[in-house]
Amino acid sequence: MSINEPAKKQRLYQLFPFLERAGDDFQRAFSDVAIVARFEPGAQICDERSRCSHLPLLLEGVARIFKSGENGKEITLYRIRPGESCVLTAACILSDLPFPATATVEQRLDVVLVPADFVRAWIGRDEAWREYLFGLVANRLASIIQVVEEVVFQRLDQRIACFLLREGKEGDRLRVIVATHQDLADELGTSREVVSRLLKAFEQRGCVRLSRGRIELLETTALERIASEGIGTPSGA
């Protein structure tokens, strides 16, 4: 697929408005080297120690970036959604270091791929591109620091409550979260057994209803209190 297709180009400029500010010369150079690619759900885009050959700009879909430990546990660092890119990929391209995590596809991706050589070259030549990359680093590093702060300073019961509130509330509406206990464990960097024990405690307090692969939020006031204060049970993380 080519980014010169009218629909793709319109979508790209809508999601990444800095491209319109970059000027005709940059736009032509960008169109000459960038390509559109598609990745299906479950595909692994990058793994640890791989070299980054392209910087992705997402048009559609969701990718998950996570770190795995020697004990088999995982923790989500961040997700990439339409209009976003991957700060770790950008950092690896600029530093010529291998990718330090794993990236997989959660929802089918349409991405614009920019070759690494041009990612580096344009930083010194184009202000709009340089500002975009620096902004990407600043914004995404802030979210990674938040993950670190949650792991270090928050109890696991609080982190689970925050996750449920974040994923289960849409404005004033509550929705069912389709996720297994193992999914939550992978998200938060802990074990399934600990997640199951804490979710059962939430259910006993009337906050949620549990069924196979589903978590239904019933009452958010108690969850908000747990997110702030915990439930008084050692997290076991």
Nearest alpha carbon to residue 159 among 70, 231, 81: 231
DSSP H or E stretch at residue 104: strand 102-115
Give me the amino acid identity at 68: S
- Strand, helix or coil for residue 49: coil
Give me the amino acid identity at 171: G
Question: Tens digit of pLDDT for each residue in 9-47?
Answer: 889 999 999 998 888 899 999 999 999 999 999 999 999
- Strand, helix or coil for residue 25: helix
72 pLDDT exceeds 90?
Answer: no
Backbone torsions φ then ψ of 34, nearest 5 degrees: -80, 145
Confidence band for 232, pLDDT divided at 50, 70 and 90: low
1/110 Cα distance (integer angstroms): 10
Helix axes 220-229, 156-168, angle to 10 degrees: 140
Nearest alpha carbon to residue 186 among 76, 23, 99: 76
Question: Tens digit of pLDDT for each residue in 79-122?
Answer: 999 999 999 999 999 999 999 999 999 999 999 999 999 999 99
Question: Tens digit of pLDDT for each residue in 177-187?
Answer: 999 999 999 99
1 pLDDT exceeds 70?
Answer: no
Burial pattern 69-88, b for ≥16 Cβ within 10 A else e, equals eeeebbbbbbebebebbbbb
Question: Tens digit of pLDDT for each residue in 115-163?
Answer: 999 999 999 889 999 999 999 988 888 888 888 888 878 899 999 999 9
- Strand, helix or coil for residue 67: strand
